[in-house]
């Protein structure tokens, strides 16, 4: 798969934004499970955690639109539902983490080299085909 520099750049930054969302989810889940959800804002140094997650998601989505396939975009809509969810606390962060990981897996599947390699025929196979004709 050949990509231009700008596509490679977008893939890099999409990974960074996805990583930020994963960090929000992990920190939020950890602190909410300990009953210290109010520390999430101070841990991330933001006033509005959901607003921050929404901003990161919007930037991620714009980068992903330029290179992603249908499978990645479907997982991105799953992430969108989690980011803009009305749920709070542990459920919000758990759903966010699951959807971030799903997007990461979809991107890895998209970027993996295809396994349909064309192997050259062995000399014996070529000789046999010639004899059949």
Q: 91-131: per-residue pLDDT in tens?
A: 999 999 999 999 999 988 887 777 666 666 666 666 666 67
**Predicted pLDDT at 30:** 93
Q: Helix or strand or coil: residue 95?
A: helix
Does the reported pTM lie above 0.85?
Answer: no
* Contact (Cβ atoms closer than 8 angstroms) between residue 51 and residue 59: no
Q: Is 119 helix (H, G, I), strand (E, B) or coil?
A: coil
């Amino acid at each position: 798969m050949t990509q231009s520099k700008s596509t490679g750049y977008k893939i890099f930054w999409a990974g960074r934004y996805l990583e930020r969302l994963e960090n929000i989810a992990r920190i939020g889940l950890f602190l909410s499970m300990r009953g210290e959800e109010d520390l999430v804002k101070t841990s991330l140094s933001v006033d509005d955690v959901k607003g921050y997650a929404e901003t990161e998601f919007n930037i991620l989505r714009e980068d992903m639109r330029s290179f992603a396939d249908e499978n990645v975009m479907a997982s991105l809509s799953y992430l969108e539902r989690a980011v803009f969810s009305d749920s709070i606390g542990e459920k919000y962060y758990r759903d966010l983490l699951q959807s971030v990981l799903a997007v990461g897996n979809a991107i890895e599947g998209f970027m993996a080299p295809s396994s349909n390699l064309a192997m050259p025929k062995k000399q014996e196979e070529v000789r046999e085909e010639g004899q059949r004709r």
